[in-house]
Structure 1
């Protein structure tokens, strides 16, 4: 666990989707001796940040029971069907009302199990408050995305997001302020059961 996080940056785990392509709640799929969501939460907690929030939506009653722990704040987005953007705006509006001193926010997804707490720390350590920075993950196809740290200046725009594209447009519109970091392991989104089984077998056979 790291205690080098100097900036006041909470982590928000976005886990509200219905996992339609997966055919079951991906948050509850087995990952090692835990689940995908609990693995992601543990990764966030082990980064040493002060506050970790988890945004739930679909199947939230079932999923919430599986992650009850005092060190995580659970937020239930009742408008989750409107897409990832609604979960981002829901979380940001909560943060703006409850913690006026945050310097930025780090978003991560529940279905990217190759992301490590060391990588989250690297994103945070590269972040300099009050410089309009966006510290994003560099994907192999040249695109930038989550996990991503947004400076506080973007919270207003983030609080108004809607739809399934999340913050992609905001990153694109502010490209000159984006710094992209490539993780040591390929960042994989688990959208289908085939994706999950392939990565599961590869990870736990190594």
Structure 2
């Protein structure tokens, strides 16, 4: 695959939003965690020409208006997102787990028709996968891409899940909702939808596999 297929351009992509996503849908990037296993703030690791968290946000902005959930002290990250036309919110309870961050983001976009949700450490998803998921979201209330049978991200939650999402807390995120429901799994030939970056060697391997060169 070419670098162009993987690498998001370093500019806002609002004008490229998918025409197939449900009207009024929102997208949420979870970027409040500090990633202790990584050894340093992995959100700031470069992917192409920009930090990982910004790269992921601009990718998801291809699908819907995007909100990035940050930690309470992430002022520089918020400024960088604003420079690229991406909204953000500071979650005071971010340290208590991903569930709090997701509930915080959904609360800020509670009027949306539904939510595409993705962690900030998954910047290698192909735009074609996002377009396909946007089409699936128009027909399914709970959906996610799947690579070789493994469920990936982003995950789509229709508006009926608003009460459950607002009630989330702790470290499990929305896993309980997915386990209780029957998400539509969209088969894709895109390992990027299941690649998450836990350690520096993970990022190095994924950059090589995706053909992305840091600048």
Q: TM-score range with shorter-chain normalisation?
A: 0.7 to 0.9
* Structure 2 gap segments, 5+ residues each: 1-15
Q: Which residue number in structure 2 is paired with residue 183 of structure 1?
A: 188
Q: 1:67 aligns with which of 77, 81, 86?
A: 81
Q: Which residue number in structure 1 is paired with residue 21 of structure 2?
A: 5
TM-superposed CA distance for 1:78, in Å, is 1.2
Q: Which residue number in structure 2 is paired with residue 30 of structure 1?
A: 46
* Structure 1 gap segments, 5+ residues each: none
Secondary structure of residue in 2 paired with 1:46: coil
Aligned residue runs from structure 1 range 1-206, under 5 A: 1=16, 2-47=18-63, 49=64, 51-57=65-71, 60-69=74-83, 71-96=85-110, 99=111, 102-128=112-138, 133-140=141-148, 142-175=149-182, 178-186=183-191, 187-204=194-211
Aligned length: 195
Secondary structure of residue in 2 paired with 1:105: strand
CA contact under 8 A between 1:115 and 1:183: conserved in structure 2? no
Structure 2: how far apart are the matches of 1:160 and 1:198?
A: 37
TM-score, scaled to structure 2 = 0.82
TM-score, scaled to structure 1 = 0.85
TM-superposed CA distance for 1:165, in Å, is 1.3
Secondary structure of residue in 2 paired with 1:74: strand
CA contact under 8 A between 1:25 and 1:59: conserved in structure 2? no
